[in-house]
Amino acid sequence: MQEPEFDFRAAVNAVSDVVQNRPRPLREFDQIWMKTGDMVLQSEFVARWANGKNVAFVGDGDAISVCVAYLQRRGIVTYGPQHITVFDFDERICHAVERFADAERLTTLDATLYNCLDAFPQLGAFDAFYTNPPWGASNDGESVKVFMQRGMEATGYRGEGLVVIGDDPGLAWTQQVSAGVQRFALTSGFAIERLMPRLHSYHLDDNPELRSCNILVRALPGTTPPRGSQNISDPARLANFYGRGNAPRVRYVRELARVDYGKAHESEYELELLPDAES
Ligand SMILES: C[S@@+](CC[C@H](N)C(=O)[O-])C[C@H]1O[C@@H](n2cnc3c(N)ncnc32)[C@H](O)[C@@H]1O
């Protein structure tokens, strides 16, 4: 299949606008942002994959949702989702999405403050889901399954999903998590449609070589959804959720003050004046 052509320079510059607006990552919640070149290619791919669909993003610190909506709005790609809702427990991320959407008149994009341990509020309202969850190095991928479950609920177990997880042939845990995630998809009534290995890199100082892959899943015809959506509180599912000894204890990350991420904050520097300027 031939991939569509798009103006790469215009796309990089558009994604650069989004990156300027991205809050700084909180490592204790596995917030590790994707590198810009990979965001460009991932966003174009997601725009194509989700063309015409109503998509739920379960967590999106990377801001791929924003890139997808912005690339389409700017006419850099001529395809894309009909609508995107970002569900994230970090208010800084939800506000950053809303502010960008407002400033650029992205009418196809909004955000909802939501913790994926709570029952999903809009069952079956979406055609597709996207998630780049905590990758589950210390919990056998259970954290990935929690985010996926919410995505599947978002589609009423009738839609498609794109799951981004760690992928390194030299790291046994990534292969174990990937196999477990694929088994989870199958037992939930979803088929594995495509696996795109070692695609994206991250701003991750302790392992800059670690890549992630895309796993595309699709609900099998006749899959019956479980009844309703429940809160998740089973300690066995939540142990080591954000890494060893780091189970969830926070419902929401609240934004204290609006920060303009593209500009240096005055607490970061002071001005030493020229002699003439001092008098
Ligand atoms: C865990 S990070 C993984 C890193 C990935 N590169 C990304 O940004 O999408 C994914 C997103 O999930 C969000 N998140 C983490 N825990 C959450 C929770 N319990 N409920 C909802 N969103 C959560 C984070 O705020 C972040 O935006």
Q: Which of 18, 24, 29 has most ligand 1 atoms within 8 Å of CB, for mutation?
A: 29
pLDDT digits (tens, 9 = 90+) for 238-260: 999 999 999 999 999 999 987 77
Residue ranges around ligand 1 (CB below 6 Å): 29-34, 59-62, 88-90, 93, 114-117, 132-134, 248
Residue-level pLDDT at 258: 74
Average pLDDT of the chain, as a whole number: 95
Mean pLDDT of 25-52: 96
Residue-level pLDDT at 279: 65
From ligand 1's centre to the CA of 29, what distance in Å? 7
Which residue has the least CA distance to atom 5 on ligand 1?
132
134 Cα nearest atom in ligand 1: 1
From ligand 1's centre to the CA of 242, what distance in Å? 10
Q: List Cα–Cα distances, 126 to 31, 80, 148, 215, 274, in angstroms.
A: 25, 15, 14, 19, 59
- The sign of the CA dihedral 134, 138, 143, 148 is positive
- Global pTM value: 0.95
64 Cα nearest atom in ligand 1: 9
Percent of the chain's residues with pLDDT above 70: 99
- In angstroms, the first-to-last Cα distance of the chain is 69
Residue-level pLDDT at 2: 67
From ligand 1's centre to the CA of 23, what distance in Å? 12
- Closest to 16 (Cα-Cα) out of 30, 31, 37: 37
- Closest to 120 (Cα-Cα) out of 65, 157, 93: 157
Domain 8-251+258-278 has CATH 3.90.1150.10: no
pLDDT band at 263 (very low <50, low <70, confident <90, very high): confident
Q: How do the domains of the chain map onto residue ranges?
A: 8-251+258-278
Q: Which of 95, 132, 153, 163 has most ligand 1 atoms within 8 Å of CB, for mutation?
A: 132
Residue-level pLDDT at 108: 96
From ligand 1's centre to the CA of 219, what distance in Å? 24
